Amino acid sequence: MKQNWQRVEELFHQASELPPGARSAFLDSTCAGDAALIREVESLLSADGSGSDLPAPFVSETGPAPGLRFDRYEIVQACGQGASGTVYHARDTETGGDVAIKIFPPFQNAEQRRRYLKEAGATADLHHPNIARVQRIGKTDDRDYLVMDYVDGPTLGAVIPAAGLPVERAVELARMIVEGLAAAHRAGIVHRDLKPSNLMLDRTGQVKI
């Protein structure tokens, strides 16, 4: 259903603005009997109704410590924690390369797992110089994870001075962000949490979404 994802997003946002009791009729009338499309939108509405972020117990579990192995990856250090898990700087013991690995704590139900892994799978098809590439999606024991390019640099939020950036640099960064987002949009993917702390800068000063 990848080719309809943009349509799913549009319908989701339209339906989410309606009272819950009016959503089924809206989808029946706008989806023209497309049962698969209706199911996709309803699954997003269901997940959104239980909170757009995962509940606190989901994200607060202790992850692997530095020096320990997680599948074929040796953990170097934790990089940060978001709404859906913790990201670690790790070393791939098979290739010797540095990677970023996002480890999901055990999902609370099958629908939650389907939702998050579907989004991860969609991003794996993106290839753009301003998007951090998803290298692999895997599972070991009861922990799902995804492996991304490791960006050895700060977040955009960390480098913006209090007085703001020079206009030329701000325009340059904005252009890279827009080009990365445009590539994602062409693939039917919408980034719903775009902010300076989710944008990285590599050693050459290039933005990585």
Active-site residues, by number, are: 193
d(CA 27, CA 7): 12
Phi, then psi, of 88 in degrees rounded to 5: -120, 145
**Nearest-CA neighbor of 204 among 167, 176, 182?**
176
d(CA 209, CA 195): 10
**Nearest-CA neighbor of 104 among 67, 139, 69, 79?**
139
d(CA 36, CA 96): 42
* Residues 107/120, Cβ–Cβ less than 8 Å: no
Structure token digits, residue 26: 């809206």
**Nearest-CA neighbor of 178 among 130, 117, 133?**
130
Quick one: which H or E segment has residue 18? Answer: none
Helix (H, G, I), strand (E, B) or coil at 65: coil
